[in-house]
Structure formats: C-alpha cells, structure tokens
Amino acid sequence: MKRNIVGVMTIALVSAFLFTACGSGDKGPAELAIKAAEEAFNASKGEAAKYIPDEVKSLEGTLAALKEKFAKGNYTEVIPEAKSFAEKAKGLLDAAKAKKEELTKTWTEFDQGVPKMVAAIQSRVDMLSKSKKLPANLTAEKFADAKSGLAAAKEEWAKALESFKAGNLADAVSAAKSVKDKAVAAMETLGMQVPAGAK
C-alpha cells in the first residue's frame, strides 16, 4: 500500500515536472511569436487606423489579451494565437486600402454633387425671398426651416472640405453625407426635384 502511494506520488511529480518543462520550453517561441505579431501590427496600424479604426481597436484588444495569456504562462495557447494575429495584422493594410478606395469614390461623388444641390437650393431660396407671397404648398415656417437647413448644410460642407484637405477621408465623407441629407430635406421642403443620386 505504502509502495503504491509512493508510486502514485512519483508519477504525479514527474508529470508535473514534464508539464512545467514543456510549458517553459514554449516560452521562447511564444515570446518570439508575440513579438512578430506586435511588429506586424505596429507596421500597419497607423495607416489602418485612418480608415478602419474599429478593426484596429479590436486587434489592440486581442494583442493585449495575448500578452496577458503570456504573462500567465499559457505559452502553448499563445503561439498559434499570435501567429493567427500576425496574419490578421498583415491583412490590415489591404483592408485599409480597400476602405480608402471606397471612401475616395464616395467622396468624389459627394464633392461633385453636393455643391450643385446646395447651389440649387440657394437659388430657390433667393427667388422665394424676392417673392411677394410664398407658393401654395410652402408655409413661412417651412421656408424658415429650409433656410436654416441650407445654412447648416453650407457650414457643414466647409467642415467636410477641411477634413478632406487634412487627409481625414472618413470624417470628410461622414460630414458630406450629413450635408447631402440636409440638402435633400431642404429640397423636399421647398418642393424641388431631388437628384437621383442623392435619394
């Protein structure tokens, strides 16, 4: 009986030693894998953050979790996860490039179209301001709303242009979309035809 207990204890000790030894043996490769993953991420996150900030933020969280696992000694888990992370980090630039192309296309559309809408609204507002009375389907209150919508649209368009000039394409597109929506609302209020591309 006593011999059996000693045997079981020995097996347990050896197993524990082997487990620890194997885990420790993975520490170096795990460290290298994390380093490679972090380098891949650092190489692309700056550019990627301009176009796909949410993805970058998500990967930041994943990297932090990986480091935490490493600190806790879960080296065997860390190695494959770090390799997978590095692949994702390498793909960030391609994803950012695709997003940049999409934003550039959208910006070009807005840049060509939105000023025309704003100019058309301004022209109509100028005409209505000269009018002795408003058309049947337009109340003074609605006309006032359209005028304030136009003013807000012009102000926001200036901001969109500033963002574009500063290289903040995502902000520029977001502001331009908001201007387009305001312009559509003003055109509808004034009973104007809304361009097909803006609907």
Partner 1 sequence: MADDDAKDQYDATQYHEVVKGDTLWKIAEKYYGDGSLYKDIFEANKDILKDPNMIKIGQKLRIP
Residues that bind partner 1 (CB under 8 A): 105, 108-109, 112-114, 116-117, 119-121, 123-124, 126-128, 130-136, 138, 187, 191-193, 195-198
- C-alpha to C-alpha distance for 69 and 60, rounded to whole angstroms: 14
59 or 187: CB nearest partner 1: 187
Which residues contact residue 144 at a Cβ distance below 8 angstroms, ignoring those fewer than 6 apart? none
> In the complex, what is the shortest distance from the CB of residue 126 to partner 1, in angstroms, rounded to a whole number?
8
User: How far is residue 91's CA from residue 80's CA, in Å, rounded to a whole number?
Assistant: 17
Q: Which of 185, 159, 155, 183 is nearest to 173 (CA)?
A: 159
Shortest spacing between CB 163 and partner 1, in angstroms: 20
Smallest gap from residue 152 Cβ to partner 1 (A): 18
Contact call for residues 125 and 117 (beta carbons, < 8 A): no
- Which of residues 91 and 113 has its CB atom nearest to partner 1 in the complex? 113
- CB closer to partner 1 out of 74 and 104: 104
Q: Which of 85, 82, 65, 101 is nearest to 27 (CA)?
A: 82
Judged by beta carbon, residue 21 or residue 136, the one nearer partner 1 is 136
- Tell the smallest beta-carbon distance from residue 45 to partner 1 (Å): 31
